[in-house]
Chains A and B, each alone.
Chain A
Amino acid sequence: MSAQHNNAQPKQDPRFKTAHKEAWIGAALAVFNFVWWYGFAYGLGSRPVDEYTYILGLPAWFFWSCVAGFVLMSIITVVLAKFVLTDMPLDDDPRYHPDALHSGNDTPTKKGPNS
Chain B
Amino acid sequence: MNIGVLIPLIIFLIAIFAIGFIASKQMGSGGGFLQEYFLGGRELGGFVLAMTMVATYGSASSFLGGPGTAYTVGFGWALLAMTQVVTGYFVLLVLGKKFAILSRRYDAVTMIDFLKARYNSPAVAILSAIAIIVFLFSAMTAQWVGGGRLIESLTGLSYTSALFIFAVSVLIYVTIGGFRAVALTDAVQGAIMVVGTLVLLIGVIIAGGGIPAIMQDLVNENPNLVTPFGADRSLTPAYVSSFWILVGVGVVGLPQMVVRTMSYKSSRAMHRALAIGTIVTGFIMLNMHLIGIFARPVLPGIDVGDKVIPLIALDVLPPWLAGIVLAAPMAAIMSTVDSLLLLVSSAIVKDVYLSYVRPQATEKQVKTLSFGITGVLGVIVFLLALQPPDLLIFLNLFAFGGLEAAFIWPIVLGLYWKYGNKTGALASMVTGMASYIAIYLYNQANGDLLGVHAVTIPVVLSLAAFVIGSLAAKREPFQF
**Does A associate with B in a complex?**
yes
Nearest-CB distance from B83 to chain A (Å)? 7
Given A87-B267, A88-B267, A49:B219 Cβ within 8 A: yes
Whether B86 lies near A30 (C-beta < 8 A) is yes
Stretch at the interface among B89-97, B367-375, B430-438: B89-97
Which B-chain residue is minimally distant from A22 (CB atoms)? B96
Whether A42 lies near B237 (C-beta < 8 A) is yes
- A26: which of B93, B415, B479 is its contact (CB, 8 Å)? B93
Whether B212 lies near A57 (C-beta < 8 A) is yes
> Whole-angstrom distance between the alpha carbons of A15 and B96 in the complex?
11
Nearest-CB distance from A74 to chain B (Å)? 5
A114 within 8 A of B: yes
Given A22-B93, A90-B97, A59:B85 Cβ within 8 A: no
Whether B226 lies near A20 (C-beta < 8 A) is no
B25 within 8 A of A: no
B31-90 interface with A by 8 A CB criterion: 75, 78-79, 82-83, 85-86, 88-90
- B249: which of A30, A41, A58 is its contact (CB, 8 Å)? A30
Whether A12 lies near B85 (C-beta < 8 A) is no
> Whole-angstrom distance between the alpha carbons of A76 and B82 in the complex?
17
> Whole-angstrom distance between the alpha carbons of A17 and B468 in the complex?
26
Q: Is chain B's interface secondary structure helix, strand, loop, or mixed overall?
A: helix
Given A26-B89, A54-B215, A90-B104, A112:B82 Cβ within 8 A: no
Whether A113 lies near B89 (C-beta < 8 A) is no
Whether A113 lies near B267 (C-beta < 8 A) is no
Nearest-CB distance from A104 to chain B (Å)? 16
Count residues on chain B whose CB falls below 8 Å from chain A CBs: 64
B155-198 interface with A by 8 A CB criterion: none
A50-93 interface with B by 8 A CB criterion: 52, 54, 56-59, 61-62, 65-67, 69-70, 73-74, 77-78, 80-82, 85-92
B286 within 8 A of A: yes
Whether B93 lies near A91 (C-beta < 8 A) is no
For A92, what are the chain B residues with a Cβ–Cβ distance below 8 Å? 101, 104-105
- A23: which of B96, B237, B267, B272 is its contact (CB, 8 Å)? B96
> Whole-angstrom distance between the alpha carbons of A91 and B98 in the complex?
11
> Whole-angstrom distance between the alpha carbons of A15 and B283 in the complex?
33
Which B-chain residue is minimally distant from A67 (CB atoms)? B286
Whether B106 lies near A111 (C-beta < 8 A) is yes
Whether B272 lies near A81 (C-beta < 8 A) is yes
> Whole-angstrom distance between the alpha carbons of A111 and B116 in the complex?
13
B211 within 8 A of A: yes
> Whole-angstrom distance between the alpha carbons of A112 and B221 in the complex?
61
Stretch at the interface among B273-281, B311-319, B322-330, B399-407: B273-281
Which B-chain residue is minimally distant from A62 (CB atoms)? B75
B307 within 8 A of A: no
In the complex, per-residue mask of B274-313: 1 if CB is within 8 Å of any chain A CB, else 0 = 1100110011001000000000000000000000000000
Whether B85 lies near A23 (C-beta < 8 A) is no
- B98: which of A20, A29, A82, A112 is its contact (CB, 8 Å)? A20
For A67, what are the chain B residues with a Cβ–Cβ distance below 8 Å? 286
Which A-chain residue is minimally distant from B240 (CB atoms)? A41
For A87, what are the chain B residues with a Cβ–Cβ distance below 8 Å? 266-268, 271
Whether A70 lies near B286 (C-beta < 8 A) is yes
Whether A85 lies near B227 (C-beta < 8 A) is no
For B105, what are the chain A residues with a Cβ–Cβ distance below 8 Å? 92, 97, 111-112
B232 within 8 A of A: no
For A52, what are the chain B residues with a Cβ–Cβ distance below 8 Å? 226
Residue of B268, B272, B479 with most chain A CB atoms under a 10 A cut-off: B479
> Whole-angstrom distance between the alpha carbons of A62 and B82 in the complex?
10
> Whole-angstrom distance between the alpha carbons of A34 and B89 in the complex?
13
B416 within 8 A of A: yes
Whether A98 lies near B117 (C-beta < 8 A) is no
- B79: which of A30, A46, A62, A88 is its contact (CB, 8 Å)? A62
> Whole-angstrom distance between the alpha carbons of A62 and B289 in the complex?
12
Given A49-B226, A77-B274, A87-B268, A112:B117 Cβ within 8 A: yes
For A81, what are the chain B residues with a Cβ–Cβ distance below 8 Å? 271-272, 274-275
For A86, what are the chain B residues with a Cβ–Cβ distance below 8 Å? 267
B354 within 8 A of A: yes
For A112, what are the chain B residues with a Cβ–Cβ distance below 8 Å? 105-108, 113, 117
For A113, what are the chain B residues with a Cβ–Cβ distance below 8 Å? 106-107, 113, 116-117, 355
Whether A23 lies near B355 (C-beta < 8 A) is no
> Whole-angstrom distance between the alpha carbons of A110 and B224 in the complex?
62
Whether A15 lies near B97 (C-beta < 8 A) is yes
Q: What are the 6 closest A-B residue pairs judged by CB atoms, nearest first?
A: A26-B93, A57-B211, A112-B106, A98-B479, A19-B98, A49-B223
Q: Name 7 A/B residue pairs within 8 A (Cβ), A-sorted.
A: A37-B82, A70-B286, A78-B275, A80-B89, A90-B104, A113-B117, A114-B355
